[in-house]
Structure 1
Amino acid sequence: MSEECDEAELLALLDDEYARAILTATSTEPMSATDLAETCEMSPPTVYRRVERLKDCGLLAEDMQYAESGHHYAVYRATVDHVTVSFADGELTVDVARQEEEAVADRFTRLYEGLR
């Protein structure tokens, strides 16, 4: 879990239907804010607010996507695989299992292929 996001904030974020929709959509493929707004049926400002909160908690990552026109834009991908909430010995514990990071060489190949 990110140092900027405590357990209560993480649970509140996961209780938000828009944040959950973004995590669900980006768990299959990276998506732009425009794609998220359309797919999740929410306004762009709502997307951007939730994306920032999800990034702050380390649940979402931002990458650059390059278009044939030479322009680039941000795409977002879920970095969380699953979340476990435990109540034991009078304490609440939240464990976040992260997806494995993409290897640098694989990321470079993906970016290069996106330029073609």
Structure 2
Amino acid sequence: MNEESSIEQILDTIGDKHARTVLASISREPSSAKELEERLDLSQPTIYRRLELLQEHDLIKDRTLVADDGNHYKEYTCNFNSTVISLDDDEYDIRIFREENLPDRFSSLWDELGAK
């Protein structure tokens, strides 16, 4: 989760029906916006708004690919494996679990322990 993203913003994002639909689709299969438009029967502006919102909160990532005709396009993938939303003492907490390689996980753990 981005440091700038508040818990309320994440909850609002995953609370949006179209954002959840887009996220579920790309979690099954990486897709371009055009593929999502065809598969989900949503308008292109709706797709792009939801992709932007999901990226803003670091829930998806993209990569640029080159089509056979030489044009560039982006393919979107889900950026996490699972998420847990908990409520404790009237406060929500969100934990997003990402698949990281071993050196990244070690660095994150080291940083969390306060070692620099």
TM-score (norm: length of structure 1): 0.80
The aligned runs of 1:71-110 (5 Å cut-off) are 71-100=71-100
Aligned-pair CA distance for 1:89: 3.6
Q: 1:59, 1:78 within 8 Å by CA — same for their partners in 2?
A: yes
Q: How far does residue 21 in structure 1 lie from its aligned partner after superposition?
A: 0.8
Runs of 4+ in 1 over 3 A off after TM superposition: none
Q: Which residue of 1 aligns with 2:104?
A: none
Q: Runs of 5+ in structure 2 lacking a partner?
A: 102-116
SS of equivalent residue, structure 1 residue 69: coil
1:44 matched to which residue of 2? Answer: 44
Alignment of 1:1-116 (within 5 A): 1-100=1-100
Q: Offset at 1:67?
A: 1.3
Offset of residue 28 of structure 1: 2.1
Identity between Structure 1 and Structure 2 (%): 34
The CA RMSD measured in Å over matched residues stands at 1.4
Structure 2 length normalisation: TM-score?
0.80
Aligned length: 101
Q: Radius of gyration: which is bigger?
A: 2
- For the residues of structure 2 that align with 1:32 and 1:25, how far apart are their CA atoms? 11
